Amino acid sequence: MKLRIEPLKSKDAHLIPKLIESGMDKGIFKLTIFSSKGYGAYLEKLLTIPEEHRRVKLYGAFVGDQLAGYTEWRIFENSLFLNNIYVFPDYQGLGLGKSLLEEHGNKLMEEYRKSSITLDVFNNNAKAMSWYEKIGFVKQESINWNVGEQLAITPNSAFECYIENYPNAEAEQKAYDFSLFTCSTKNGIYQIGRIKNQFYRLTNTESLNNADLLHCLYQVDPKRKILLLSNEEFSSNFSFALACVSSRMKLEI
């Protein structure tokens, strides 16, 4: 079997959502932007930017002309971040994952002069976690993915919340089915993600105590649920259910 790893082409972008879905728990998949109906179109647009001008690097593993797997790397200041690595079921067990992560990953580390690789893995994927540990990855922290219904919060008379870059976010939502906008309040600035028509994605537990922010989000769309990613304990009036847990892992070279 002759394996070829090269930058992903726009013509193969539409295969990536299916590839990710094939390797991710379906209950978790629906919580991610990868399940958005426009994610393939988003990748296709991203790939029109020359690789040297973007921090997100996408590579395909090809057997002949067939896409067998892929990786998505992000160039951070102090490390390479492996955002995704997947191999189609028909090509698993042939060493493609090892080539993508170890061999190609080492080449990228040399190219970008980094000394470590970080990644996130879902805890229900015991096989992947074991594989990473054998390579030398060490767990750094856990992230809880909590899902809850919104509440109709009544702010005080000094209510203040401004939505920034909303027209751009609406255009992205229409095109890709996910987006990001900024809410500025007197008590903080928050990045709010939207996944399909189902979730507000929050990553700051302090947002649950900001009545101005919560009132604003409820006014914009009261039907969305809140998906809160947190690595710390928190208390709130919301009733959250733990959907899944992911672990941040790191490999020092």
For residues 100 and 200, membership in a common domain is answered with no
Is residue 130 very low, low, confident or very high in pLDDT (cuts 50, 70, 90)? very high
Number of domains composing the chain = 2
In a domain, residue 250? The reply is no
For residues 166 and 130, membership in a common domain is answered with no
Is residue 173 very low, low, confident or very high in pLDDT (cuts 50, 70, 90)? very high
Q: Judge whether residue 157 has pLDDT over 80.
A: no
On average, the pLDDT of the chain sits at: 94
**What's the pLDDT at 23?**
94
For residues 126 and 214, membership in a common domain is answered with no
For residues 176 and 81, membership in a common domain is answered with no
Q: Give the whole-angstrom CA distance, residue 56 versus residue 83.
A: 9
For residues 131 and 163, membership in a common domain is answered with no
**What's the pLDDT at 78?**
86
Domain closes at, from 142, 173, 197 = 142
In a domain, residue 23? The reply is yes
Q: Judge whether residue 136 has pLDDT over 80.
A: yes
For residues 156 and 131, membership in a common domain is answered with no
Tell me the per-residue pLDDT of 138-150, one tens digit each, with 9 for 90 and over.
999 999 999 999 9
For the chain, how far is it from start to end, CA to CA, in angstroms?
Answer: 29
**What's the pLDDT at 248?**
97
Q: Give the whole-angstrom CA distance, residue 133 versus residue 116.
A: 14
Residue 230: other Cβ atoms inside 10 A: 17
For residues 137 and 22, membership in a common domain is answered with yes
In a domain, residue 214? The reply is yes
For residues 115 and 208, membership in a common domain is answered with no
In a domain, residue 208? The reply is yes
User: What CATH code is carried by the domain that includes residue 125?
Assistant: 3.40.630.30
Q: Give the whole-angstrom CA distance, residue 232 versus residue 72.
A: 27
In a domain, residue 131? The reply is yes
Q: Percent of the chain at pLDDT above 70?
A: 100
**What's the pLDDT at 158?**
83
For residues 43 and 129, membership in a common domain is answered with yes
Q: Judge whether residue 69 has pLDDT over 80.
A: yes
Owning domain of residue 161: 151-237
Contact by Cβ (8 Å): 210, 105: no
Tell me the per-residue pLDDT of 229-242, one tens digit each, with 9 for 90 and over.
999 888 777 889 99
For residues 132 and 225, membership in a common domain is answered with no
**What's the pLDDT at 233?**
81
Q: Percent of the chain at pLDDT above 90?
A: 88
Contact by Cβ (8 Å): 40, 13: yes
For residues 134 and 167, membership in a common domain is answered with no
In a domain, residue 14? The reply is yes
Q: Judge whether residue 1 has pLDDT over 80.
A: no
β-partners of residue 182 are: 164, 191
In a domain, residue 251? The reply is no
The C-alpha R_g of the chain, in whole angstroms, comes to 20
For residues 38 and 123, membership in a common domain is answered with yes
In a domain, residue 113? The reply is yes
